Chains A and B, each alone.
Chain A
Amino acid sequence: MKPEWNQWAREFKEQYPGANSALMPLLHRIQAEEGWLSDETIHDVATLFDLPESYVESVASFYSLFFRNQVGKKVVHVCVGLSCALAGSDRLMENLEHRLGIKEGQTTADGEYTLLEAECLAACNQAPVVQVNLRYFEGLDPERPDVLLESSKSPEEEVKP
């Protein structure tokens, strides 16, 4: 446990009526720093808020944007919702897998990219859609995944969760 977590936990507890409601902000904050939530983190957060570990795990595992495994610097979410599927998201995924040399759910050996599926990202009019560190890339050509990887290189444009 990092010493500052204690401080954050106290702050969030003051902001929210109960530990249950302060849980998600703290998980976000910790993930923003650590990149992901390890088993130890879950245990520590449970201790900080005096919540059952099972409850913290249930919450963390419910939301797909809480990462329970280590992820790369850039997390690529390929939308596999209906509109994107019709617009060739499966082909886009295949090309990305080929280009990065990993399968969906995996992280590149250099720790740069993690490739994940996402359920509908609610931008169907611009299908197929991909998020790179939550930033939207719309109306992509499934055969040209490089565009996506190159244009996402400027870190200052990224949106932190």
Chain B
Amino acid sequence: MIRLTIDGQEVTVPEGTMIVDAAARLGVDVPVYCYHQALGPLGACRMCLVQVEKMPKLVTGCTTAVTEGMVVHTKGGAVEKGRKGVLEFLLINHPLDCPVCDKGGECYLQDYTFEYGPGRGRFQEPKIQKVKNGPINDLVLIDQERCVLCQRCVRFMGDYVGEEQLLLEGRGVETVVTTVDHQPATSQFTGNVIDLCPVGALLSAPYYHKGRPWNIDRHSTVCPHCPVGCSSLATTRESHIIRLEGRPVPDRDWGWLCDRGRFGYDFGYHADRIADSWVKERATSAAQATRDVAEWMQQTNAQYGPGSIGFVMGGQFTAEEAHLIKKFAHDVAQSDNVAVMRNVRGYLPAALNGTFQDLTEADTVVFVGVDPYEAVPVVHLKLRDRLRHFSQLKVLGVGPRRLTRDTMPGRDYLVASQDEAVFFARALAAAAKDGPGVQTLVDSVRDYVLPVSDADIEAFGQALLDAEHLSLLWDGENAAMAEVLAVLAGLREKPTAVLPTFGPVNWRGYEQAGIDPRYDNVEELLNKTRTGEIRMLVLWGADLTRDLPDRQLAEQALAKADYVVSAQVVPPLDMPYIDALLPVATWGEVEGTYVNMEGRLSIGAAGVQPPGQARPTRTYVANWGRLFRQDFGLDDEWDPFDSAQGDLISRAGNNHGPAQAVPRPGTRDASQEWTIIEGDWVMENGMPSEILEPRETEFVARVSPEDAARLGIGEHGGYVEAQTAGGTVMIGVQADPAIVERTLWIPRGSRHDWAQHLEGLVKLTRPEEVPSV
């Protein structure tokens, strides 16, 4: 630790700390443009000039590391003169168009000029004119005249994200930030440069001229698009969310967002949003729909007794809403058949659930079936951050496709989804055959044939055991992995953390509210519906035909139920089966708690009105309670933070019983030429967005480049004919080097109708005539 004095106050900081950060500890603000803690020092803008005693000239506080006994002055004549000079230079070619600038009022160039700058410049020559509001891509604009060339954006995209799509072009006053070959930047992290830009150069295209700081409100919230639950700020104006920004949390989160999250905030007022109540395919009033549903529930209960109504929670509801549904089901509808909608069969006990801190400390990371870049993009950035600090980070992928990539290099072990647990079990058996539970685990798969050599299997097992700090990301596809992970954690005496990447986004929140989120639970509920034990289904955000892996079960249950009530934000694929479709308030319209994949509780604020007849869950259950003439105590004392340690859910309990054998996977039908695999892709999570339309593609399925060439698919994708058990469908496909040959990857829960009809895929063929797109 180093002790130094800043403005007469003594402070002790770790070695290697820069003066600006040491000053920040004391609450002393040193102005900076180019410096950002996540990106490291650069010294390009010269804004952070400070005086250090015994140094002949002013020094930049962002590139000067502290030394023992250093005496720093951030105020005083010399520093003030220095800052004034820097600002005068920065403003020489600045257009001073603050009145029409989106960043006006949120701009460090304004703030620092006001605080430290000269009242007027002395430069009288004409200003250099450059591109105004040119595109970085469809979502980000650049005003090159306003740029101060701090390089935050260039360094973020290049060094941090590893996708070098921005650059400085030219020299001196002619220098501009632009894209490679002047082509649109395609990275899914480009939106972050808007937050990073300290001035008005990089702007959000959908927010362009939409609001000024004095006519907007900002609400602290959580992004609802994937289980990462990024901390963010929603900007609202006239009851519309018109912008989402990252919200850094000191010492924990840089506030990065992916473009899906940053720009996908418009589903609440998208044309597809359900704003009317529908009963038996006819629009009706919200009050009538509520009465009808209550009547059906009363009827069902009267006729078939308690437990005849099933409730399934899906969507993006808050933990509090899940609690209300559960409470209503139990107290009023007399049913404990309440489940969480699941699209994969895996479940992770909280005891094994790691946090993002585990990613920043890991020396080995294993992706089990999941490509974080696509499923949970900001986790990819967190791992990039780790890689910057720890270049030896070992990255291993286990799954039916390549899961590592150029920006996250590592080793892939290609095994079918159904073999993932076998692969792990055998790896553990090879590396630690006497370990507790290992022999039981591997008992029925000892001679199961894997497409990986024994040496590789053992090496993988050794890597799992040798890791000092092991973090695993798991997509939940292979349910037997839960068993393996528990044994693995027991074997290792060093930190072992698992981060589940599956949804629904707030499933942990629903679990906290007392609903069993395991697949078995929802499966049992639907089986009971199929057999007629449950007569009515209330689907709260759940879309069975879209999400349930067992599509047949979903369809049979829906067809069998006397009544299907579905509360949704956008039209579900269940539509043909639905008796009452209820418009419901969603993210941004209701305040409540979200629990993300690291088990952290955060509050999503309410900032806007739900459109049309859409009403909060609370209103529905309160009205139904009234119609049942039953006061069921809406205001009980349940609080999701009750079981939390700080803002993390409790990891206690879930004691693992004795190990159980990994079940032997069924043999694959060798006559099937193609394998279909599924993966989470945040772009295809089902929430519509007009803003993101330029980023959307019809060609959401993927095949290997070799297969794509055979099928005649061009660079941006194309249609192919898929011959399936049920006939021929046209599917949109593109090439992806991560996919292995004879494999068709489709995004899990895709809203493309054809994605639901690929069962029994026989082959893909080039269509006779490619329909124009």
Contact = CB atoms under 8 A, between A and B. Distances in A.
A and B interact physically: yes
B189 to A, nearest CB: 15
Contacts of A62: 168, 170-171
Contact of A58 (B165, B168, B181): B168
Contact of B167 (A58, A63, A64): A58
Most buried by A among B154, B158, B168: B168
Contact of B169 (A39, A52, A58): A58
A57 interface: yes
A40 B761 CA distance: 42
B180 interface: yes
A55 B163 CA distance: 12
Interface in B155-212: 158, 164-171, 180-181
A155 B505 CA distance: 72
Contacts of A52: 158, 164
Contacts of B168: 58, 62
A61 interface: yes
A141 interface: no
A54 B158 contact: yes
Interface in A28-71: 39, 52-55, 57-58, 61-64
Interface residues of A, number: 11
Contacts of A53: 164, 180-181
Contact of B170 (A39, A54, A55, A61): A61
Most buried by B among A53, A54, A55, A64: A54
B171 A64 contact: yes
A39 B181 CA distance: 7
A79 to B, nearest CB: 16
Nearest to A68: B169
Contacts of B154: 54
A54 B166 contact: yes
A57 B171 CA distance: 12
A52 to B, nearest CB: 3
A54 B164 contact: yes
B158 A57 contact: no
A109 to B, nearest CB: 27
Given A39-B181, A54-B158, A54-B180, A61 B164 contact: no
A105 to B, nearest CB: 13
Contacts of B158: 52, 54-55
Nearest to A57: B167
Most buried by B among A57, A58, A61: A58
A61 B158 CA distance: 18
B11 to A, nearest CB: 37
Given A53-B164, A54-B158, A61 B180 contact: no
Most buried by A among B170, B171, B180, B181: B180
B547 to A, nearest CB: 40
B57 to A, nearest CB: 26
A70 to B, nearest CB: 17
B171 A63 contact: yes
A57 to B, nearest CB: 6
B181 A61 contact: no
Contacts of A55: 158, 164, 167
Contacts of A58: 167-169
A39 B154 CA distance: 20
Contacts of B166: 54
A55 B154 CA distance: 10
Nearest to B170: A61
A53 B167 CA distance: 9
A88 to B, nearest CB: 20
Nearest to A52: B164
A68 to B, nearest CB: 9
Contacts of A61: 169-171
Contacts of B180: 53-54, 57
A22 to B, nearest CB: 19
A101 to B, nearest CB: 26
B282 to A, nearest CB: 57
Nearest to B167: A54
A88 B180 CA distance: 39
A62 B167 CA distance: 11
A64 B171 CA distance: 8
Contacts of A54: 154, 158, 164-167, 180
A55 B181 CA distance: 12
Contacts of A39: 181
A55 B170 CA distance: 12
B136 to A, nearest CB: 13
A54 B158 CA distance: 9
A121 to B, nearest CB: 16
Contacts of B171: 61-64
Contacts of B169: 57-58, 61
Contacts of B164: 52-55
Nearest to A119: B172
A55 B166 CA distance: 9
Interface in A59-91: 61-64
B130 to A, nearest CB: 14
Nearest to A58: B167
Interface in B424-442: none
A59 B117 CA distance: 32
Nearest to A53: B180
Nearest to B171: A62
A107 to B, nearest CB: 20
A63 B169 CA distance: 10
Interface of B: 154, 158, 164-171, 180-181
Given A54-B166, A55-B158, 16 more contacts: A39-B181, A53-B181, A54-B165, A54-B167, A54-B180, A55-B164, A55-B167, A57-B181, A58-B168, A58-B169, A61-B169, A61-B170, A61-B171, A62-B168, A63-B171, A64-B171
7 contacts: A39-B181, A53-B164, A54-B164, A54-B167, A54-B180, A55-B164, A57-B180
**Which 3 A/B pairs are nearest by Cβ-Cβ distance?**
A52-B164, A54-B167, A54-B164
